[in-house]
Structure 1
Amino acid sequence: MPVLPQVDEDALLEELKEKSLPLPVIKPLLTRIQTEAHDYFRETLDADLLVRHRSTLIDRILRALWRFRSIATEDIALIAVGGYGRAELHPHSDIDLLLLARDEDSINRHASDLQDFITLLWDIKLDIGHSVRTMDECVTEAEGDLTIITNLLESRTLIGDETLHSELRARITPEAQWPAAVFFEAKSEELNTRHDKHNSADYNLEPNVKNSPGALRDIQTITWVAIRHFGKGTLQALEDNGFLTEFEHKRLASSVSFLWEVRYALHMLAGREEDRLLFDLQTQVAEVLGYKDTGRQLGVERFMSQFYRHQLSTMELSDMLMMHFTEDYMQCDDDTITPVNEHFVLCNGYLQLTTPDLFEKEPAWLLRVFPMLAQISESKGIHSATIRALRDNRNLIDEEYRQNPEHNAIFMTLMRSRSRVVRELSRMMRYGILGRYIPSFGRVIGMMEYDLLHKYTVDEHTFRMIRLLRHFRYGDVRERFPIASRLIHRVHKKEVLYLAALLHDVGKSREGDHAANGGEIAEAFCIQHGLKPADTHMVTWLVSNHLLMSNASQRLDLSNPDDIHQFAVDVGDQYHLDMLFLISVADTHSTNPELWTPWRAEQMRELYRNTQAALRRGLENRLHKDDVIEEIQQEAISQLLDYGLPEARAREIWGQPGEDYFLREGVDNIVWQTREIDAHGNSAKPLVSVRQTSDRQFEGATQIFLFMKDQPNLFAVTTATLDQLNLNIQDARIMTSESENNAVDTYIVLDENNEAITDPERIRVIRNTLCDALDEPEEFDTIIRRRTSRVLKQFDVPTQVTISNDPLMRRTVLEVIAADRPGLLARVGSILMDFGAQLQGAKILTEGEQVSDIFFIVDANGEPYSDPTSCEELCQALEDGLDEQVEEQSAV
């Protein structure tokens, strides 16, 4: 069993005097302390003890060094401030010191000693933050600076003239400066600003254990306000003064202990002051804290879910405590009280219960309070005593309560409310009501998935999704969501959409297909809540199929009438299409706003428009490809004639690229590419043309057109070069003219910010770089690949390859799911080349750290792969080759 590190101050002083040089004594001592403390933590996880014990040891070391330097103890004092003043030191926390002098003469007399002391602390590599001030300077600066007065609240003397510290504390009391109410208001504003800063998507993905909402700084803010309010800042003091119950005290103390464990582990593993739960540390922290993988969930996912739940618990209690202080400073009077009904009033804008035992006697009010609040525009929130009453009585919500038709009707009243639905659902969750009323939702609160696709916990994602659905009604989003903003006004029962959004991910609490599981839960919920059969069907169908349109927009050939017809059959009718589109857009955007690029948005819209057209024609009136191709060719020839290019020349250029060319490229692209080839003439050099795509299907992206003699490694060279240019391939159309064996390839790309390339100079560089690379494609192996980012290295996504045949298109469909790594497409192209496979096209989809790419291939004879052995060997080669690439790049 490891033991706590120890330091004897007097013995240390004697050793310092004996050896005269402090560095050889202190540096090994600090290393030993850190090593022994880390061993103790790994065995016990007792961060509470260790952070206080480290503070005690640093106290002893600093006093011994002060005494070793023989610094006077009159008119000068060494004072611990900030976190060190609270006697809380994590392994790499700053050691904040104040060297306090009575006056300028005192500083001048001790200037040399003080400078030597500070230099010594730097030399031994202590992480100190220090200031040297006179008494008057301290008082003046504290009066004008919230940070300084806060740091001084928990200060304590380490060594020196104790009377100085006593005098200082007497001069910074609330009576002298920063009255309690003023201090509280400033701290409230500071807390809100910090929450706004640390509540972005990135902070949710890699939360800050110190500064994120519901993290340690929230608790510290409460203690600082408490010190100013009634002189003590401990949780026990909050309980003694009636601000916390015993149970709440224990809950908050438990969250503090957990957050301290996490912060200690972060510092220990990073070897520095690191308070962010970075991806490359999350798995390690989870392992240190004992979270193991299970069949259903990774250990890191269980750990992060626990983190988010503690965060939510801390936010709940922090809100209540800050409200409690607000009420103390803003006493209600007749001018600030507005009656709501016989049970409630608004006091300074906050809902206050006037019937203390209301929830116990009439439990329906546990739900009814929220739709009531949704109708009160002037409400600012809920009174602390009312919050506590809600929390104390939420255990009354049991299965009998959930089955009560009156309670079901109340909940549906909230879902049908014209305003503030998400605000009240969020309150219900924060105060523990929503999770009790919908247990399946309660089980996914705080649930996260360890990837780069899902930027929020399930509950936060769900509320963002409902908020966006409601926002579609407003004109300010019409430009970003043109179709959704129009469709939302056709939906007469919007609660059907909101219910589907609320329940769409609850199936993640079970094993198996979460959409199918969620559909079962949703159907039972709707029947229980008295929805009409048609509405129940729609909610159930939307939950069960909420991934259908998003997946189809990324995987189908949206120009292929056969693919569109099949999707139209799956959807069935216009009403289902409209509702599914609304759910799909809101879900995709709310999963990760950064992935909702103009290109991806247009893919979804194109699928909607094409499916709508198919439904209007009638599913029995399918488009025939031959008719579509003939129409496209005639329109292209007509436009080319306008440019002075004869039909015979156009058909000569086209050769026989196959029917796919005319289906996939569209008239505008065909005209542009034909003119580019004509202008290129008989040059043996590769033709590379770049422009903003005019294809509505790929709006918001850049189009790169390649024309040259086909070569086996052409795809590998092209994709590797585009990767080096920091371009993200979204779609690839790979074709070969049968008569001339010319490659006629189109790539749709975005830049590193998922935007189209508009800079003319960058376009020139892209064109020239591709021309050079394609002019000597045999030099493929010399292309240097980019390094894998810090974040991507943390994800181990085993490669999965599936193979199937598309009889209608007479080709083989290869789906590759793998870890996103630079050069991945080039590696795929190289392996396909080794197998003699001809690539006809590709759909590229990157979701966070994972790619889900689809390749359309035929064998060397232009036929689909049919031999099971060949299929198995190709799949195995891809899996081995891509996994090997991941291992190579992760090691760099």
Structure 2
Amino acid sequence: MLEPPTAHAIPDRTAVLDRTRLEAELTQIAGPPIPPEEARNTPQGTADPKTRTQVLRTLKTHLRTGRTEIHRRFYEDNATGRAVMQATCYLADELIGAILGHVTQRLHPLANPSAGEKICLAAVGGYGRGELAPQSDIDLLFLLPWKMTPHTEQVVEEVLYFLWDLGFKVGHATRSVDDCLRMAKGDVTVRTNLLESRLLWGDRALFDELTQRYAEELQAKTAAEFIEAKLAERDERHKRLGDSRYHLEPNIKEGKGGLRDLSTVFWITKYVYQVANAAQLVDRNVFTREEAKRFDKAQAFLWTLRCHLHFQTGRPEERLTFDLQKDIAPLMGYHDHAGQAAVERFMKHYYLVAKDVGDLTRIVCAQLEAEHKRTRLLRLPGLGRNKTLEGFKVEGERLSVAEPGSFQRKPVRILKIFEVAQRRGLDIHPRALRWITQNLKFIDRKLREDAEANRLFLQMLTSQHDPETTLRRLNEAGVLGRFLPDFGRIVAQMQYNMYHHYTVDEHTIFAIGELAKIERGALVETAPIASEVVHKLLSRRALYVAVLLHDIAKGRPEDHSEKGAEIARKLCPRLGLSDEESETVQWLILHHLDMTKVAFRRDLEEPRTIRDFAATVQSVERLRLLLCLTVADIRSVGPGVWNSWKAALLRDLYWNTKDELTGGFNAEARDRRVAKAKDELAQRLTDWTEAEVETHLDRGYPSYWLSCDAATHERHARMIRTAEREARALTVDTRIDDYRGVTEITVYTADHPGLFSRISGALAVAGASITAARIFTLKNGMALDTFWVRDAQGGRFDRSDKLARVASVIERTLAGRIRPMQELEKQRSGLPSRYDSFRVAPRVLIDNTISAKHTVIEVNGRDRPGLLYELTQVLTKADLMIHAAKISTYGERVVDVFYVQTALRDKVDSEQKLRRLRQKLGEVLESQPGGGKAGQKASAGRGAS
């Protein structure tokens, strides 16, 4: 923890600010300070405006020079974040001192101040502690003996005006000692600020009175109350910011594992133990020397990172956004290495530091609880009800051991305590977790190969009792990464994209939790098929192990599915799985992305698609396993990633493939499902005549009836009937889909070549970003196209003015009154900077073997407004008809698949035309806003053509 900055701590401090030189310049401008004996003869408050302007200009020059020097030291001399904060604090101290001298000795001198006119200025909050980042606010306390006098008011106002004119952001209060103590008793924020007070200028006796009374009247009597308030404040802050230290764009100050958590430790330990730094906590037996070093390293890392954030943005930025991560990684000394990008290595280090902060906070809390138990400062529930359970101590509702040597003598107890806690529904005492952390070195090869240890681990993983919480406890304690070294490599491993919301280890643990929810029936509404088939599995243990290991090779140069299967081949026998189970785990890891790729990128009514996927799966058991793994995997990517559209696609792929595996994906099976869909719709249209129902049921091709649920079919039916009754040439329906966080836009109009492209362009002009789309042509020649959209920044497209504009823009575009390309060029301002940080290798794949009747074109690239329109314009100009389209967005990356035919309803088989298509589509993908070309030529792919 940073001691209050002193002059000797700043190397060559006069280069930051030479106080002697500054005072000489002020004297030259405004004259020498007025001696006290002459003060009563000096007029008050009559400073010449021109003189004040010159004084302010001089102060600004010294401030600018000081900040430039601090910036130079940081980036040219590799000064640490600690050094920057000390120098910044010194610069502020010296400037404030010079301002106070100028105000009290030239502008408002006082000959013999009375007792009531005494005043001192203290730094409080982070400034008082000496943690002043380049763009931080400064918090000041003008301390008085009693009420404010006219002279005191003049001094305070003049000082604040100077600071504001210099551009400082100042938090300030003017209070008496009694006021400070009274407010501190009722407000923990005020109490915390005063805890960190530091005298800057003025009456020492007045400041000492405050610190002495604070210690006697508050600090000595309210330790338990202060601890409880600060921990509650911390918990509320964590909850407000997402309660995870693994956010991909973390707030390094307020977020979990950030600087505010370190400050909380400082506040609590200073309040209770009267310490000023981590080393003193070693003397109080709160930290070991190793833990004190971890504390200092975490703080140094976060301070340096915060300085980079402030310097790079020129503002008090505390959020480490994607674009800043990429810029700061090399500045922090990280470079690409061993298949990992520099930014991924940097963020992994950040998350490990954040984890250390959590560990150290837990250690302090455990020690405080132990102290309070002895001194009865806190009355914790369950104190005194100690007993033993399966060889462990039970303290309250938490498991512990008598002493740390217990884990050293028998390391298997490290796993055993977690298993007992899981099975018995208990927590683990922070003291025991600390001892486990200190004994991690005993989780060695011998323990990893121990049959009992592996049995305990597999039992925890596959338990019916909340395996997610247990795995997270194991991971937080460092046990999981030591017991499974390959898992240790993905701990805190980020994936630098906007699709994955969590680090790889967090994603994996969430996936285990989602699988457990599926199994206990908690997701029947959102994942009904998986919730049904999970209870028919014959390889339950293999499924849980496969979910645990499915991303275990992320961050390596090899394909993570292939490398993951290789790791599983060695690990599964160690965990006690049979040969059959081990083979199943390997297969699941190798193919864990297959179901997603087929469901979201292929036409599921295409028999060849189903036959090829069935040939990969080979059995209904593997199909069920893969479905459960896929659902758990997608749902654990992040909030809002799973939705009803994806659920429907996976459902259709599952049933079609099951039909193929159990008797053939044939017309009879398909007709049964079509008939069922029609019956369900007919039951909803009770207010229609029988003739109306029959007419409508005859409109759709089988692909339409198999691709939508009953509620969507009903909505479409009523929209179509209204359009026909009112003889509308165009109907546009908008609906907010809260479950998926998108707006659904359905267009019903006469079909014609290029329609899909023109609607896509219209939506882009209206400010909508298409995340998914379905297109149908009905038997009456009408198109029924549905688009799911967000706004251009990825937020909700639900403002009433935007929705009202959509129909108008689509109508004018289809009528030819709006040309989307021209409109997009006018409004093109580039993507938000967070998108500019990413580069997606453009790729074009054209395959004539996937479908019996269509050429399949798949394009991969970075998303941007209007991209889908530009791509489909290429297809339209090539005289190709889009039969089906699968539009998928994964954060900043888009994967669009088009099933196309020529005007004669044939495949595209001309080599020249195929080459031309690859070239034109590649050119669209390469012309990315914010960066010109995408950085490399689009790959033509290796699909047969």
Do the structures match in fold with TM over 0.5?
yes
Structure 1 residue 786: Cα displacement = 6.4
Counterpart in the other structure of 2:634: 588
From 50, 67, 70, the equivalent of 2:101 is: 67
- Would you say the 8 A contact 1:351–1:383 is kept in 2? no
Counterpart in the other structure of 1:26: 59
* 1:7–1:577 distance in 2 versus 1, CA, 3 Å: same
Instruction: Give the Cα–Cα distance (whole angstroms) in 1 for the partners of residues 927 and 920 of structure 2.
Output: 10
SS for the counterpart of 1:36 is: helix
From 487, 504, 508, the equivalent of 2:550 is: 504
Counterpart in the other structure of 2:26: 16
Alignment of 1:549-560 (within 5 A): 549-560=595-606
Instruction: Give the Cα–Cα distance (whole angstroms) in 2 for the partners of residues 155 and 836 of structure 1.
Output: 75
Counterpart in the other structure of 1:773: 813
Structure 1 vs Structure 2 CA RMSD: 3.8
* 1:692–1:225 distance in 2 versus 1, CA, 3 Å: closer
- Would you say the 8 A contact 1:100–1:164 is kept in 2? yes
* 1:665–1:809 distance in 2 versus 1, CA, 3 Å: farther
Using the TM superposition, name which of 829-838 and 402-411 deviates more: 829-838
SS for the counterpart of 2:496 is: coil
Instruction: Give the Cα–Cα distance (whole angstroms) in 1 for the partners of residues 143 and 812 of structure 2.
Output: 68
Using the TM superposition, name which of 387-396 and 747-756 deviates more: 747-756
Instruction: Give the Cα–Cα distance (whole angstroms) in 1 for the partners of residues 741 and 479 of structure 2.
Output: 44
Show CA shifts across 1:454-490 (max 9, x none): 1000111111111222223445543333333334444
Show CA shifts across 1:54-85 (max 9, x none): 11121111111100111668620010011111
Instruction: Give the Cα–Cα distance (whole angstroms) in 2 for the partners of residues 758 and 339 of structure 1.
Output: 58
Counterpart in the other structure of 1:360: 408
From 558, 570, 587, the equivalent of 1:524 is: 570
From 769, 780, 783, the equivalent of 1:744 is: 783
Structure 1 residue 883: Cα displacement = 2.1
Using the TM superposition, name which of 397-406 and 119-128 deviates more: 397-406
Structure 1 residue 437: Cα displacement = 0.8
Instruction: Give the Cα–Cα distance (whole angstroms) in 2 for the partners of residues 808 and 135 of structure 1.
Output: 83
From 632, 653, 663, the equivalent of 1:618 is: 663
Alignment of 1:345-424 (within 5 A): 345-377=393-425, 379-384=426-431, 386-424=432-470
Using the TM superposition, name which of 556-565 and 61-70 deviates more: 556-565
Counterpart in the other structure of 2:764: 723
- Would you say the 8 A contact 2:383–2:395 is kept in 1? no
Counterpart in the other structure of 1:249: 292
* 1:613–1:66 distance in 2 versus 1, CA, 3 Å: same
AA of the residue aligned to 1:877? K
Alignment of 1:474-873 (within 5 A): 474=520, 476-491=522-537, 494-615=540-661, 617-619=662-664, 622-623=666-667, 644=691, 676=720, 686-690=729-733, 702=744, 704-708=746-750, 710-711=752-753, 713-725=754-766, 726=768, 728-733=770-775, 744=783, 746-750=785-789, 752=791, 766-776=806-816, 779-784=819-824, 787=829, 788-806=831-849, 808-873=851-916
Query: Could you list the runs of 5+ residues in structure 2 that have no partner in the other structure?
Result: 1-10, 31-53, 377-381, 935-945
- Would you say the 8 A contact 1:214–1:315 is kept in 2? yes
Instruction: Give the Cα–Cα distance (whole angstroms) in 2 for the partners of residues 420 and 591 of structure 1.
Output: 19
- Would you say the 8 A contact 1:456–1:591 is kept in 2? yes
* 1:629–1:381 distance in 2 versus 1, CA, 3 Å: closer
Structure 1 residue 166: Cα displacement = 0.8
* 1:86–1:202 distance in 2 versus 1, CA, 3 Å: closer
* 1:888–1:658 distance in 2 versus 1, CA, 3 Å: farther
Counterpart in the other structure of 1:288: 331
AA of the residue aligned to 2:392? F
- Would you say the 8 A contact 1:412–1:529 is kept in 2? yes
Show CA shifts across 1:310-358 (max 9, x none): 1112211221121111211123999624222485312344433214422
Counterpart in the other structure of 1:79: 122
Instruction: Give the Cα–Cα distance (whole angstroms) in 2 for the partners of residues 744 and 24 of structure 1.
Output: 70
Using the TM superposition, name which of 167-176 and 457-466 deviates more: 167-176
AA of the residue aligned to 1:390? I
Counterpart in the other structure of 1:131: 173
- Would you say the 8 A contact 2:243–2:256 is kept in 1? no
Using the TM superposition, name which of 85-94 and 185-194 deviates more: 185-194
Structure 1 residue 852: Cα displacement = 0.5
Counterpart in the other structure of 1:114: 156
Using the TM superposition, name which of 753-762 and 563-572 deviates more: 753-762
Structure 1 residue 308: Cα displacement = 0.6
Instruction: Give the Cα–Cα distance (whole angstroms) in 1 for the partners of residues 12 and 217 of structure 2.
Output: 46
Say yes or no: does 1:162 pair with 2:204. Answer: yes
- Would you say the 8 A contact 2:16–2:65 is kept in 1? no
Show CA shifts across 1:186-209 (max 9, x none): 112112222222235797021011
AA of the residue aligned to 2:69? E
- Would you say the 8 A contact 1:801–1:814 is kept in 2? yes
Using the TM superposition, name which of 142-151 and 594-603 deviates more: 594-603
* 1:560–1:760 distance in 2 versus 1, CA, 3 Å: farther
From 24, 36, 41, the equivalent of 2:69 is: 36
Alignment length, in residue pairs?
873
**TM-score of the superposed pair, with normalisation by structure 2:** 0.84
* 1:806–1:324 distance in 2 versus 1, CA, 3 Å: same
Query: Could you list the runs of 5+ residues in structure 1 that have no partner in the other structure?
Result: none
Using the TM superposition, name which of 560-569 and 632-641 deviates more: 632-641
Say yes or no: does 1:340 pair with 2:388. Answer: yes
Using the TM superposition, name which of 365-374 and 412-421 deviates more: 412-421
Structure 1 residue 675: Cα displacement = 9.8
* 1:405–1:83 distance in 2 versus 1, CA, 3 Å: same
Instruction: Give the Cα–Cα distance (whole angstroms) in 2 for the partners of residues 588 and 113 of structure 1.
Output: 62
Structure 1 residue 24: Cα displacement = 0.8
Instruction: Give the Cα–Cα distance (whole angstroms) in 1 for the partners of residues 801 and 308 of structure 2.
Output: 48
Show CA shifts across 1:367-407 (max 9, x none): 22211221333x343242x3333222211222232122232
Using the TM superposition, name which of 474-483 and 590-599 deviates more: 474-483
Show CA shifts across 1:518-548 (max 9, x none): 1221232111122123322332222222222
AA of the residue aligned to 2:191? I
Alignment of 1:451-490 (within 5 A): 451-474=497-520, 476-490=522-536
Structure 1 residue 581: Cα displacement = 1.8
Instruction: Give the Cα–Cα distance (whole angstroms) in 1 for the partners of residues 130 and 537 of structure 2.
Output: 59
Instruction: Give the Cα–Cα distance (whole angstroms) in 2 for the partners of residues 124 and 756 of structure 1.
Output: 41
Say yes or no: does 1:239 pair with 2:239. Answer: no
Structure 1 residue 868: Cα displacement = 3.3
Show CA shifts across 1:542-581 (max 9, x none): 2222222222221122333443343333323332222222
Counterpart in the other structure of 2:87: 53
Counterpart in the other structure of 1:100: 143
Instruction: Give the Cα–Cα distance (whole angstroms) in 2 for the partners of residues 352 and 162 of structure 1.
Output: 49
* 1:732–1:693 distance in 2 versus 1, CA, 3 Å: farther
- Would you say the 8 A contact 2:22–2:62 is kept in 1? no
Instruction: Give the Cα–Cα distance (whole angstroms) in 2 for the partners of residues 232 and 699 of structure 1.
Output: 49
AA of the residue aligned to 1:64? A
Structure 1 residue 162: Cα displacement = 0.9
SS for the counterpart of 2:626 is: helix
AA of the residue aligned to 1:38? H
**TM-score of the superposed pair, with normalisation by structure 1:** 0.89
* 1:420–1:840 distance in 2 versus 1, CA, 3 Å: closer
Structure 1 residue 686: Cα displacement = 4.4
Structure 1 residue 682: Cα displacement = 13
Say yes or no: does 1:195 pair with 2:243. Answer: no
SS for the counterpart of 1:730 is: strand
Instruction: Give the Cα–Cα distance (whole angstroms) in 2 for the partners of residues 284 and 305 of structure 1.
Output: 16
Instruction: Give the Cα–Cα distance (whole angstroms) in 2 for the partners of residues 760 and 39 of structure 1.
Output: 50
